[in-house]
């Protein structure tokens, strides 16, 4: 990650949807890692509200959660002085580029997306076109900023791949318009699993609240959820990532490792021979202690509406400046009249 000081910093783009509760999975899989990237890269992080409406939202809730997400980003250590923070819908270039790229993306490519298959089975009454073209909007988010690296969890890698494919296809026709981005998989905690069904990803939209830890949960609720996490009856603390029967323990080891900047293997060694109860207690303590300072910061920031609005405004302006350069280029290439 070291860079020559004379070279311009590489650009990073990423974001989280403001739908549902921001979970421990979002924090460990995404936000925590962004904090450490801020010094070495030019970072742009957004609240992805356009993506959120691919599933039905309560308008007032969506608005509220978008601001909460911003406050949470900052509480987690994203510094608005170093990084650009903005709300996706404040920059119309995202929707505009998405339209153009829709015309350079094949139905077949989109049909293969596992997130689409997943979400359409969970929302069978609302399989809308937005859900289908979601990856094209995501590609637009990334390509507008000539992004080099996109830090994401494993589950988003397929979307990075389609983004690269579409960008390469477009460049193949019109010349080098887009920088081809790369996904940056975070080392640990990349994928935190459900506490009740540990073979599934921890999801903020899980109907069972015991399945996920929200960054906004009360501390005793967090501890309780971890202590009642599904494990197995073998009673052995061992990290076996390929053994489904061990999914619950693997998950707790992964969480503990991410919390303590260790590895699941090392954590397993440390707790070797101990009971699940003791281990879960230790994981619960580690998680609560990590979340406590973030929550204190969050409670302070969320009250300061003027400060948050100011960040949104500055972020929207900064993002607009960069995005317009790419959008203008694209419009010109495809044959629109550009002044």
Block residue for tokens 């999914």: 247
- 154 part of the active site: no
Window of 56-64, 152-160, 245-253, 290-298 that interacts with ligand TRP by CB under 6 A: 152-160
Instruction: Check: CB of residue 237 under 8 Å from CB of residue 268.
Output: yes
| SS3 (DSSP) at 15 | strand
Block residue for tokens 């049909």: 111
> Does 189 contact ligand TRP by CB under 6 A?
no
- 119 part of the active site: yes
CB of 39 to ligand TRP, least distance (A): 20
Please pick, from the candidates 51, 90, 204, 280, the single residue that binds ligand TRP as defined by CB under 6 A.
Answer: 51
Select 205 or 263, whichever has its Cβ closest to ligand TRP. 205
Q: What residues between 99 and 138 interact with ligand TRP by CB under 6 A? A: 138
β-pairing, 42-47 with 11-16?
Answer: parallel
| SS3 (DSSP) at 183 | strand
- Count of other CB atoms within 10 angstroms of residue 224: 13
CB of 162 to ligand TRP, least distance (A): 11
Residues with Cβ within 8 Å of 154's Cβ and at least 6 positions away in sequence, in order, are 185, 190, 191
Please pick, from the candidates 31, 152, 291, 311, the single residue that binds ligand TRP as defined by CB under 6 A.
Answer: 152
Window of 148-156, 246-254, 262-270, 296-304 that interacts with ligand TRP by CB under 6 A: 148-156
CB of 167 to ligand TRP, least distance (A): 13
CB of 117 to ligand TRP, least distance (A): 15
Angle at 167 between CA 166 and CA 169, to 5 degrees: 65
Q: What residues between 17 and 36 interact with ligand TRP by CB under 6 A? A: 17
| SS3 (DSSP) at 47 | strand
- State the chain's maximal CA–CA distance in angstroms: 71
Edge-to-edge strands, sheet with 11-16 = 84-87, 42-47, 11-16, 149-152, 182-185
> Does 86 contact ligand TRP by CB under 6 A?
no
CB of 183 to ligand TRP, least distance (A): 9
Block residue for tokens 């690269």: 164
Window of 150-158, 192-200, 294-302, 317-325 that interacts with ligand TRP by CB under 6 A: 150-158
Under DSSP, the state recorded for 27 is I
**How far is the C-alpha of 27 from the C-alpha of 33, rounded, in Å?**
8
> Does 13 contact ligand TRP by CB under 6 A?
yes
Please pick, from the candidates 23, 66, 156, 196, the single residue that binds ligand TRP as defined by CB under 6 A.
Answer: 156
- 280 part of the active site: no
Of 119, 225, 246, 280, the active-site residue reads 119
**How far is the C-alpha of 111 from the C-alpha of 2, rounded, in Å?**
39
Q: Footprint of ligand TRP on this chain (CB under 6 A)?
A: 13-15, 17, 48, 51, 138, 141-142, 150, 152, 156, 159
């Amino acid at each position: 990650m070291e860079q020559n000081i004379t070279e311009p910093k590489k650009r990073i783009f990423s974001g989280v949807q403001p739908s549902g509760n921001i979970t421990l999975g979002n924090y460990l899989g995404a936000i925590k890692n962004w904090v450490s990237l801020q010094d070495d890269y030019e970072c742009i992080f957004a609240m992805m509200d356009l993506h959120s409406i691919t599933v039905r939202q309560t308008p007032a809730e969506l608005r509220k959660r978008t601001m909460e997400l911003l406050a949470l980003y900052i509480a987690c250590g994203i510094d608005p002085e170093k990084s650009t923070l903005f709300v996706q819908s404040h920059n119309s270039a995202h929707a505009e580029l998405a339209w153009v790229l829709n015309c350079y993306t094949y139905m077949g490519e989109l049909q293969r997306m596992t997130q689409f298959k997943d979400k359409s089975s969970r929302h069978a009454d609302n399989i809308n076109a937005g859900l289908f073209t979601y990856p094209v909007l995501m590609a637009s988010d990334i390509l507008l900023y000539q992004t080099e690296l996109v830090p994401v969890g494993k589950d988003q890698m397929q979307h990075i791949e389609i983004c690269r494919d579409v960008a390469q296809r477009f460049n193949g026709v019109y010349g080098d318009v887009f920088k081809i981005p790369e996904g940056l998989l975070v080392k640990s905690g990349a994928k935190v699993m459900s506490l009740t069904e540990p073979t599934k990803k921890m999801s903020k939209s899980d109907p069972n609240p015991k399945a996920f830890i929200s960054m906004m949960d009360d501390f005793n609720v967090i501890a309780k959820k971890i202590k009642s996490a599904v494990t197995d009856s073998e009673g052995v603390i061992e990290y076996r990532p390929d053994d489904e029967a061990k999914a619950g323990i693997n998950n707790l080891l992964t969480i503990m490792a991410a919390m303590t900047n260790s590895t699941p293997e090392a954590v397993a060694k440390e707790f070797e021979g101990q009971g699940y109860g003791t281990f879960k207690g230790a994981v619960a303590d580690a998680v609560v202690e990590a979340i406590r300072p973030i929550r204190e910061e969050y409670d302070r920031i969320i009250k300061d509406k003027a400060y948050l609005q100011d960040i949104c405004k500055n972020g929207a302006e900064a993002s607009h400046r960069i995005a317009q350069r790419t959008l203008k280029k694209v419009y010109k290439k495809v044959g629109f009249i550009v002044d």
